[in-house]
Chain A
Amino acid sequence: GDSVTQMEGPVTLSEEACLTINCTYTATGYPSLFWYVQYPGEGLQLLLKATKADDKGSNKGFEATYRKETTSFHLEKGSVQVSDSAVYFCALRNSNYQLIWGAGTKLIIKP
């Protein structure tokens, strides 16, 4: 079945460090791919998305490129801030219009 695998956390970085959170997927067809972010005590909110191969989603300095050849959608940011501390979820939308979620990666940014 369809699945999403993302790197385990927590990931701890210093402010202004570079970030990569890996995400790979297994799915039939051409799923849409998403990154959601969950700040402490809040619900999830969409961070960025990509709907076809080679698309790049970007928002708030974060980027992710839909790589069909490697079935990946890694989340990157060049310089993280303390305010980026949150849990990040990779997800795909399959042919049944359901969202399949990764387990989440907790990101901790230290000043």
Chain B
Amino acid sequence: DADVTQTPRNRITKTGKRIMLECSQTKGHDRMYWYRQDPGLGLRLIYYSFDVKDINKGEISDGYSVSRQAQAKFSLSLESAIPNQTALYFCATSAATRREQFFGPGTRLTVL
């Protein structure tokens, strides 16, 4: 079974729609992250959370919001999707005392 899961894996939506991407983990890690990946730009951090009560903005948080419902769940929302939010979105986790991040399989989002 995958340690970090993301749903949905693919989503096509229209401009102006509200979208939620979900991430769950069974690794027991406190820290969770949301990234987006664009061709030629690597990964850019959207939001991160060090525990349920700690949410922090990353490099590119505008247009996004997050919710840490439990230690194991971290959701990313696009309140009003726009075409330049078309990208591959990754959730990741890490333990507080280690440096490695573990990634989910990604969600491919297309905004028309």
A residues with a Cβ closer than 8 A to B are 4, 32, 34, 41-46, 49, 51, 89, 93, 98-99, 101-104
Contacts and interface: CB of A to CB of B under 8 A. Distances in A.
A71 B101 CA distance: 22
Nearest to B103: A43
A32 B99 contact: yes
Contact of A43 (B48, B58, B100, B104): B104
Nearest to B50: A97
Interface residues of B, number: 19
26 contacts: A34-B99, A34-B100, A41-B105, A42-B105, A43-B104, A43-B106, A44-B90, A44-B92, A45-B102, A45-B103, A46-B100, A46-B101, A49-B99, A49-B100, A51-B99, A89-B42, A98-B45, A98-B48, A98-B58, A99-B43, A99-B45, A101-B42, A101-B43, A102-B42, A103-B42, A104-B42
A111 to B, nearest CB: 26
Nearest to A41: B105
Contacts of B41: 103
A42 B9 CA distance: 11
A41 B104 CA distance: 11
Interface string B41-54: 11111001000000
Q: Which of A4, A98, A99 has the most CB of B within 10 A?
A: A99
